[in-house]
Structure 1
Amino acid sequence: MCPMLNENSKCILGRLPGRFVRRQIFNVMIPAVLRSSFPIAMSDPAVNTMIKVDSQESLEEKLSTYHVSPVCGYLLSSPRSMLPGYFDDWNEIALHLTDFIEEGNIRQKVEKMSVLDHEQLTSHRELRLAHLMLTGIAAAYVWTDGVKGIPKFLPSCVAVPLWRVSERLGVQPIMSHCSWSLANWKIIDQSKPATDLKNRELIVNLPGGDTAKWFFLMQQQTDLISGPGIAYAIGMKKAVLDGDEVRLVQNLGLLKSTVKKMEVCIKQIHGLCDPDTFFHVLRPFMMGFGSQPFTAAGYGGLVFQGISDVPQQHLGASAAQSPAIPIFDAALGIIHDTSNENFHETMRRYMLPAHRKLIEDLRKGPSTKTFVDKCSNEKTTKAYDDCLQAVADFRSSHLKIVARFITIPLRKDERKTEDAVAKGTGGSDVLKYLKSTRSATTDTMFKTKTNST
């Protein structure tokens, strides 16, 4: 279990209210795989009896099937902060990444590394830390001289293990949300809870000081807060299968509250991060391999030495790689247009396979919207619309962050020749994308409401 709280503290995510939630979760009847292995975001000891498991370890095995923790949500529980001694080259460079970037010698440091054997990594947590470290080293190597000083090749000492580690995890060989937000944290004082953001710090840092630190920490906190929403989403699906409007309304209300808490969390970025520092200092390191600077240089992508002579293209880190909102979309039946759905499918390739499967399994379930449409109870329709409005409001708040941290600095920037900078690091026309996803959310509602933006 994730050591984010001391023994006398309450679960970070809170206890799930009411037996109705517990009954729904463990009797889920959407895709067969969910009946035996769906992870539940709860920490109730009574669960052991209800699902007829013999030990807490058996319960934890079920919870870990989709890499979801009852305490940490989507965050990797108990992440390692140091690899075994064999990998000291990676430890040394990754844990001092910002220093080497600022000293201007990161490429020299990397080029002196040996090609280490990724097979020496023996656990999921070691692989997650290796991916975090290697993607950070790769980003630093590529972008240390800015968009006009990018290299054509990534040295084999980084390229080979990064590629192989990514294959073993089922993710892409570039910095992404699954590593830099979900696996990039450690507790400062073990006697204090990690819910206090001042008691968490990043394992691997990038230039940008407090802005870089809080940008990743607040993303982590948003994903953590979203954790109980998984249980409510499943509860909604089971209520639809059972034709139980009361339980559906209850779960919709709980999910709405969760999304509102997530919105409060992301809004804190405005007071913790400086837009100019984010845009000019941190964001370039988050760009993709194959983005506009590679095109301008005539490279077409980044060659991974020791893997292939063909330039590789990978999108940069993006909040769209978080599983939280896509899981809620799947549960609520929000349908995006073809262009956005194709983009979402691309973003899912940057998620952990277990998180991708969670989204896919929820999408296979019964249609919540169809059920609500057949209900004659106005209370049910209102609960559904209210929950959708909360998701739309979250997207509006995200849109405001993008406007302040990307669009406005871009307009102030005199270097307007790189068209790709106007796009998200994930490769999308970010404002257009966010407005479209918000419209898809409100269009799903039965009664038109006014957007907050």
Structure 2
Amino acid sequence: MKVQDFATFKLSDYNISDDYGFILQEPLMPELGIQHLKDYKEKVLARVLLSHIVMGYVWQDADQGVVKVLPRTLAIPYCHLSKILGLPLIMVHADFVLANWKRKDALGPLTMENLSTIVSLPGGNSLQGFVLVTLLVEVAAIPGIKAVVQAIKALLTEDRPTLLQALRNMAQSIQNMGEALQLMYDYVDSDIYYNTIRIFLSGWKDNPSMPNGLLYEGAVDEPLCFSGGSAAQSTVFHVYDELFGINHQPESFDFLLKMRQYMPPAHSSFIDWVKGVPKLSVYVQQSADLDLLSAFNMCVSTLTDVRSLHIRIVSKYVTTAGARARVKGLAAGSGAQHLQERGTGGSLAMTFLKSVRDTCKGGLLKKSTAADC
């Protein structure tokens, strides 16, 4: 280096500020545009990232000192993207699970050992386990979804052999969903779920920690309220309820109906399509075919078993873990107590789950009914 080289020397060439030195001056995130996102998949993945950032920002101090305003640098792109995708302004099941996974080995199977999340919130291995176990439930549902379409086609053409096989395939798929859900006990610590994960999945509707909701700065003029993540946002259970003619109690059904607004619109439309076909239960009853009736009841019974398992999981991970936390003084806040009583989606958790399970069981058909038709 020569003295004359200093004639053009600038600290800024080395990203060094005259006023701040090596410190990055005013390190605030710029407002991000979404105009470069090309297709549906890119937009979905962008929302996955933004949704996790939003939940992390809102719940960074748990339910103590919760923020009331989402900064415009987050709020504006999040609102624009959500409007395009037809999703509410909060993280939903589709963000947290359905689009938040990757294979470790690109050619490997969809198994716990070969899966990882794309984005995570606090909770460590238990958070990853919670997401991936839930994902495996959705993976187990894939053959059942295909069987639903086969069953409807068979119903419309009165093809009993195909309908029977489709129902048996559904029953097996639902059983596999339950086996996948059972993995929750192996991969998720109940105390970590209750004291950490649960908080970051919570919404700002009917939540005393955020009684007025959240203001999306620069995007809306008034605070808005949205329910948090919930298993009720999983489309497959709604599909089965409609196909099997499960008639839930008004309050439970009202909540389930609201949760359909938290699904990708195309998934919700699939539920409507299933709802619009002739009643499968009526056809099975009128057929007087005991094999069909047995297969139908196996589906409903297995679905009831999965919902009973869900109740046991909620009992362990919310009710019992919540009692432990209160004894230890970890859940003294009003918001924590609220979430102990309600699910992250805002429903009265155990009351809702038991109601849904019981009405599901009520969907079983009686042999005498079929024989008398």
Which aligned pairs between 1:400-411 and structure 2 lie closer than 5 A?
400-411=312-323
Aligned-partner residue type, residue 281 of structure 2: K
**Aligned with residue 309 of structure 1, among 213, 221, 225:** 221
Equivalent residue, structure 2, for 1:420: 338
- Residue pairs, 1:22-61, within 5 angstroms: none
Deviations 1:223-263 (A, max 9, x none): 11111212211222222222333322221111000000010
Q: Secondary structure at the match of 1:386?
A: helix
CA distance, structure 2, for counterparts of residue 275 and residue 356 of structure 1: 31
Cα deviation, 1:105-136, whole Å, max 9, x if unaligned, reads xxx99981111112222221211111111111
CA displacement 1:4-42 (0-9 Å, x = unmatched): xxxxxxxxxxxxxxxxxxxxxxxxxxxxxxxxxxxxxxx
Determine the C-alpha separation between the residues in 2 that align with 1:144 and 1:109: 23
Identity of aligned residues (%): 30
Q: Deviations over 1:361-402 (max 9, x none)?
A: 010001001111112222221111111101101111111111
- Counting only pairs closer than 5 Å after superposition, residues 168-183 of structure 1 correspond to structure 2 as 168-183=84-99
C-alpha distance 294-109 of structure 1, shift in aligned 2 (>3 A)? farther
1:171: Cα distance to partner? 0.7
Q: Secondary structure at the match of 1:343?
A: helix
Q: Is 1:132 aligned to residue 48 of structure 2?
A: yes
Output aligned runs, 1:88-127, within 5 Å. Answer: 112-127=28-43
Mapped contact 1:131–1:179 kept (Cα < 8 A): yes
Matches within 5 A, 1:17-416: 112-190=28-106, 192-295=107-210, 299-414=211-326, 415=331
Distance in 1 (CA, whole Å) between partners of 2:212 and 2:116 is 36
Which amino acid in the other structure matches residue 303 of structure 1?
L
CA distance in 2, matches of 1:202, 1:215: 10
Shift of residue 200 of structure 1? 1.4
Does 2:353 correspond to 1:434? yes
Partner AA of 1:231 in structure 2: K
Does structure 1 conserve the Cα–Cα contact (< 8 Å) formed by 2:205 and 2:346? Answer: no
Question: Over residues 133-177 of structure 1, what are the superposed CA-to-partner deviations in whole Å (9 max), with x where a residue is unaligned?
Answer: 111111111111110111110000001111111001111121110
The count of aligned residue pairs is: 337
Residues in 2 aligned to 1:394 and 1:109: alpha-carbon distance in whole angstroms: 54
CA distance in 2, matches of 1:236, 1:111: 56
CA distance in 2: counterparts of 1:377 and 1:136, whole angstroms? 50
Contact 1:234 1:331 in 2 (8 A): no
Q: Distance in 1 between matches of 2:300 and 2:71?
A: 47
- 1:236/1:331 contact within 8 Å kept: no
Query: Which of 429, 440, 445 is the aligned partner of 2:364?
Result: 445
SS in 1 for 2:209: helix
Provide, for residues 249-280 of structure 1, a one-character-per-residue CA deviation record: whole Å limited to 9, x for no partner: 22111100000001000001101110000110
How far, CA to CA, are the matches of 2:144 and 2:55 in structure 1?
A: 33
Summarize the Cα distance change of 1:429–1:111 in structure 2 as closer, same or farther, 3 Å threshold: farther
Q: What CA distance in whole angstroms lies between the structure 1 residues aligned with 2:102 and 2:154? A: 38
Distance 1:110 1:426 in 2: 36
CA contact (8 A) 2:293 2:365 kept: yes
Q: Residue in 1 aligned with 2:4? A: none
Distance 2:55 2:260 in 1: 21
Contact 1:202–1:217 (CA<8 Å) still a contact in 2? Answer: yes
Deviation sequence 1:333-388 (CA, Å, 0-9, x none): 22212212211111111111110111100100010011111122222211111111
> What is the aligned partner in structure 1 of residue 12 from structure 2?
none
Counterpart CA distance in 2 for 1:157 and 1:444 is 49
Q: Which amino acid in structure 2 is aligned with residue 358 of structure 1?
A: F
Distance in 1 (CA, whole Å) between partners of 2:26 and 2:190 is: 30
- Deviation per CA, 1:184-213: give whole Å up to 9, x if none: 0112222x4132322211111111111000
> Residue 246 of structure 2 contacts residue 359 of structure 2 at CA under 8 Å; is this kept in 1?
yes
The structure-2 alpha-carbon separation of the partners of 1:291 and 1:150, relative to structure 1 and needing over 3 Å to count, comes to farther
Measure, in 2, the Cα distance between the counterparts of 1:211 and 1:193: 23
Indicate conservation of the 8 Å contact 1:318/1:426, yes or no: yes
Partner amino acid, structure 2, of 1:426: G
**TM-score, L = length of structure 2:** 0.86
Unmatched runs of 5 consecutive residues or more in structure 1: 1-107, 449-453
Q: Secondary structure at the match of 1:241?
A: helix
Cα displacement (A) at 1:292 = 2.0
Distance 2:192 2:266 in 1: 34
Contact 1:388 1:442 in 2 (8 A): yes
Asked if the contact 1:276/1:409 (under 8 Å) is kept, the reply is yes
CA distance in 1, matches of 2:105, 2:356: 40
